[in-house]
Amino acid sequence: MFSIEVTDLKKSYSGLKAVDGISFKIKQGEVFGLLGPNGAGKTTTIEIMEGLRERDSGDVKILGLDPWKDGYEVHKRIGVIPQDFTFFEKTTPKEAIKYYASLFNVKVDADAILKEVLLDEMEKHVFESLSGGQKQKTGLALSLVNSPEILFLDEPTTGLDPNARRAIWEVIRGLKAKGKTIILTTHYLDEAQQLSDRVAIMDHGHIVAMGTIEEIIEQNGSGERLEIHGDKQLADYIQANTELQVTYDDMKGIITIPLKKKIDMLAALAAAEQSGMKWGEIQTRQDSLDDVFIKLVNDPFGEQIEEEAIEQQQNGNKKGRQ
Amino acid sequence: MVSFRRIYVDFKVFSIGYFRNKFGLFFGLIFPVVLILIFGAIFSGESGPINVYAQNQDTGAFDQNIGNEFLTALNESSTMRVITVDVSENFTDYLAAHSSSEGIIIPPNFTENYLLEQPVNITVYGSPASSTSGIISGTINGYANYFNLQRFNGIMIIGLNSATVNTSQTSYIDFLVPGLIGFAILTNPMFSLVNIAADYKKNKLFRQLSLTPLTKMEWLIAKVLFYIALSLAGFLLMVGVGVFAFGAHITLSLWLIPFLILGPTLFASLGMLVGTVAKNPETAGVIGNIVTFPMMFLSGTFFPMDFMPSYLQTIAHALPLFYVTEGLNNVMVYNNIPNALVDIAVLGIITLVIFVLAVKLFKWREN
């Protein structure tokens, strides 16, 4: 059973392709991380799924419904925290929860929700006096009022200090344990690693890799490799006496040998021992998600392009209206 | 479907937030009352006699000095106080030095000419721009006629009895109370909704709300209801201060209710419209001021429309606030219900148009 099905989704802003034909499915109860550099199209994708933005083409099904056309129905069954969540300045978290509950016409235990998002001690403070983390938690609390089946969290911890981030992670783990389907965008890789069952890495509107983090590293990483601190002669010796591919880094004095099989390590070490030369520290390494991410995406200025395009489009619309 | 429960819930949260904001409370309720107190105090009571400088250049050798008698008579009138200027002064320079444009010169040989029954002219200085000049020349004219008659043993055939009809009895405070109620009906919802619309759009609060079952129509109705309630409270406060502090003569009638409902609805919607079409909060503020300030001053809020030249009065008829202040005056001051009904009709049409436009143009979500 899929909670979300996205097929060949496209969206451009005045010519710039923000999302360019992406497809994915998200299972019920899954935590799905949407990763990517700023401007990769994550927010556009998540806003289309939330029914906040109209798509140009492609198919999007949220709990079997079209989020743009059936937005009203969809919104009753999903919870959303937008990027930089804000609320009425002079309203307390508890009042906000009761307000949402009345709008959704549901009975909720406001205190229990506040406790769930670890905000119970701030229930009497008005929104504008809360810290960044507490504001995000208020958003999280509000997104839970209608007992949503799916939660959309758009960069829930951006700009928060490490403690506040960890607190939010705790809350998200709790929600995952309750079986909620969660879609999370983030550009913190550790956050994705900590929370997601599966991730998709987006770049320039495309999904460049998708799967569990292990799968992505395996498919896109260079695999395991052996590193030996030694000199050039040793590298040449191993190269000459084994069938291994040996590279040597002059600057660092490190011999690197990719390990196609685990047994390759023994051959390399045996050759090194045989050479009678001196060698230092040895270690095996594997690409981390960071390494893979940097390999897959490369455009540090992406975000500005996307945001400017959105802004331009909106201004253009307005000129058209006036 | 519009849900009254959701409107009520949104109304409640907005009210609580509003009353927690001390600035909102001050500008919403206290400020208009302060304005009544200030303007009421400035214009309360009768203004004193007008100061007029006079130079009697007639220093003839007669026992009688008719020039002095004339000035004394003027001084005893209730309208002016005569300040005599020494003959040695240059009169126009003296007026300029005393920032006055009003003065009287009695010419040399005035007494002689008067006694010899030869025509002689008094020079009256005045400024066409000054409303007091008319009063002064009128008074002097009256006394000149009186002196002429006396000289020729004329008998007063036609005299004047002072009398007033209802309308001319109104004092400035009677006019000020409806005017400032109109001011509050305009400024509170207008400035507030311009800000809210622009701010909520900028920090994406409208999108946040679009994720709930609340509709934009319900949201706007809740704001409108709040400003109707606030206007009603302001109305009672201002009428109270006007009547008890300044003795304003005000007729209270159920015909006031349409104005207290349509006015805030109109200006809340107009504010929403301005905030919606503006690109950012800064532009919204500027457009809001451009729309609000001319309306505030030209619609008969601080001074009666009759003070303005006719072309400005024509412009005023194009301003929505005009129909609020005129209507309030028609009911509260002149008790002229047929005219008030016309104002209600015009106001109703403008309100409907602006409200529909505001709901149509303002968007929860983006494309």
Helices B131-151 and B66-76, interaxial angle, to 10°? 130
Residues of B in contact with A86 (CB under 8 A): 203-205, 208
The domain defined by B50-164 folds into abc type-2 transporter like fold (3.40.1710)
Nearest to A103 among B207, B214, B367 (CB): B214
B339 or B164, higher pLDDT: B339
- When scoring B10, B12, B203, B211 by the number of chain A Cβ atoms within 10 A, the one with the most, hence best to mutate, is B211
Residues 6+ apart with CB under 8 A from B209: B200, B219, B364
Would you place residue B131 in the very low, low, confident or very high pLDDT band (cuts 50, 70, 90)? low
**Mean pLDDT (whole number) for B211-227:** 94
Kindly state the tokens that stand for A91: 């309203």
Separation in Å, CA of B169 to nearest CA in chain A: 48
Asked if B205 and A86 come within 8 Å (Cβ–Cβ), the reply is: yes
8 Å CB contact between B154 and B147: no
Question: For A172-190, what is each residue's pLDDT tens digit?
Answer: 999 899 999 999 998 888 8
Nearest to A80 among B6, B14, B211 (CB): B211
DSSP secondary structure of A7-33: EEEEEEETTEEEEEEEEEEEETT-EEE
Confirm whether the ipTM is greater than 0.95: no
Residues of A in contact with B2 (CB under 8 A): none
Separation in Å, CA of B130 to nearest CA in chain A: 45
Separation of alpha carbons B100 and B98, rounded Å: 5
Residues of A in contact with B9 (CB under 8 A): 99, 102-103
Would you place residue B338 in the very low, low, confident or very high pLDDT band (cuts 50, 70, 90)? very high
| Any B CB within 8 A of A312 CB | no
Kindly state the tokens that stand for A247: 């590279």
Nearest to A82 among B16, B208, B277 (CB): B208
Question: For B227-248, what is each residue's pLDDT tens digit?
Answer: 999 999 999 999 999 888 888 8
Return the C-alpha torsion angle A92, A98, A104, A108, nearest 10.
130
Question: For A142-182, what is each residue's pLDDT tens digit?
Answer: 999 999 999 999 888 887 888 888 888 988 999 899 999 99
B59 or A103, higher pLDDT: A103
8 Å CB contact between B167 and B242: no
Separation of alpha carbons A61 and B201, rounded Å: 27
- pLDDT at position A309: 60
| Any B CB within 8 A of A71 CB | yes
- pLDDT at position B323: 94
Asked if A87 and B208 come within 8 Å (Cβ–Cβ), the reply is: yes
| Any B CB within 8 A of A86 CB | yes
Three-class SS of residue A217? helix
Separation of alpha carbons A109 and A145, rounded Å: 9
**Mean pLDDT (whole number) for A22-48:** 91
In this structure, of B9-18, B246-255, B349-358, the range with the lowest mean pLDDT score is B246-255
Separation of alpha carbons B136 and B142, rounded Å: 10
The model carries a pTM of 0.75
Kindly state the tokens that stand for B273: 């419209």
- pLDDT at position B166: 47
User: Which chain B residues in 271-310 lie under 8 Å from chain A, judged by CB atoms?
Assistant: 277, 279
pLDDT of B156 higher than 80: no
8 Å CB contact between A246 and A239: yes
Return the C-alpha torsion angle B23, B27, B33, B35, nearest 10.
120
CA atoms within 13 A on the CB side of B203: 11
Nearest to B277 among A71, A86, A322 (CB): A322
Number of CB pairs, chain A paired with chain B, less than 8 A apart: 76
Separation in Å, CA of A87 to nearest CA in chain B: 6
Asked if A84 and B203 come within 8 Å (Cβ–Cβ), the reply is: yes
Q: In this structure, what are the phi and psi dihedrals at residue A58, rounded to the nearest 5 degrees?
A: 100, 175
pLDDT of A264 higher than 50: yes
For residue A62, give Cα distances in angstroms to A23, A50, A95, A139, A260.
13, 8, 29, 21, 42
Asked if A75 and B365 come within 8 Å (Cβ–Cβ), the reply is: no
Residues of B in contact with A90 (CB under 8 A): 16-18, 20-21
Question: For A179-223, what is each residue's pLDDT tens digit?
Answer: 999 999 988 888 888 899 999 999 989 999 999 988 888 888 777
Name the residue among A158, A159, A150 with its Cα closest to residue A77. Answer: A150
pLDDT of B283 higher than 70: yes
Helices B216-246 and B337-361, interaxial angle, to 10°? 150
Residues of B in contact with A84 (CB under 8 A): 203-204
Separation in Å, CA of B366 to nearest CA in chain A: 6
- pLDDT at position A280: 86
Separation of alpha carbons A9 and B175, rounded Å: 64
Would you place residue A308 in the very low, low, confident or very high pLDDT band (cuts 50, 70, 90)? low
Q: Where in chain B is the domain with CATH 3.40.1710.10?
A: 50-164
Residue B38, judged by CB atoms within 10 A of its CB (0-12, 13-18, 19+), counts as exposed
Name the residue among A32, A84, A37 with its Cα closest to residue A195. Answer: A32
8 Å CB contact between A28 and A1: yes
Domains of chain A from N-terminus onward:
2-211 (3.40.50.300), 224-285 (3.30.70.100)
Would you place residue A57 in the very low, low, confident or very high pLDDT band (cuts 50, 70, 90)? very high
pLDDT of B181 higher than 70: yes
Question: For A89-140, what is each residue's pLDDT tens digit?
Answer: 999 999 999 999 999 999 999 999 998 888 888 888 999 999 888 898 899 8
Residues of B in contact with A74 (CB under 8 A): none
Asked if A99 and B9 come within 8 Å (Cβ–Cβ), the reply is: yes
Asked if B367 and A76 come within 8 Å (Cβ–Cβ), the reply is: no
Mean pLDDT of chain B: 86
Kindly state the tokens that stand for A250: 């002059």
Nearest to B366 among A53, A100, A322 (CB): A53
- pLDDT at position A320: 40
**Mean pLDDT (whole number) for A254-277:** 87
Question: For B292-337, what is each residue's pLDDT tens digit?
Answer: 998 988 888 887 777 788 888 888 899 999 999 999 999 998 888 9
- pLDDT at position B363: 83
For B229-253, letters b (16+ CB in 10 Å) and e give ebbeebbebbbebbbeebebebeee
pLDDT of B17 higher than 60: yes
Separation in Å, CA of B13 to nearest CA in chain A: 7
Separation in Å, CA of B329 to nearest CA in chain A: 36
pLDDT of B39 higher than 80: yes
**Mean pLDDT (whole number) for A7-13:** 93
Residues of B in contact with A87 (CB under 8 A): 205, 208
- pLDDT at position B80: 81
- pLDDT at position A319: 43
Residues of B in contact with A54 (CB under 8 A): 367
- pLDDT at position A322: 35
For B333-367, letters b (16+ CB in 10 Å) and e give bbebeeebeebbebbbebbeebbebbbeebebbbe
Name the residue among B292, B233, B224 with its Cα closest to residue B261. Answer: B224
- pLDDT at position A95: 94
**Mean pLDDT (whole number) for B215-221:** 93
Question: For B264-281, what is each residue's pLDDT tens digit?
Answer: 999 999 999 998 888 888
| Any A CB within 8 A of B363 CB | no
* H-assigned helices in B77-171: 91-97, 110-115, 131-151
Angle, CA A4 vertex, CA A12 and CA A46 arms, to 5°: 40
- pLDDT at position B46: 56
- pLDDT at position B163: 52
Nearest to A104 among B207, B212, B366 (CB): B212
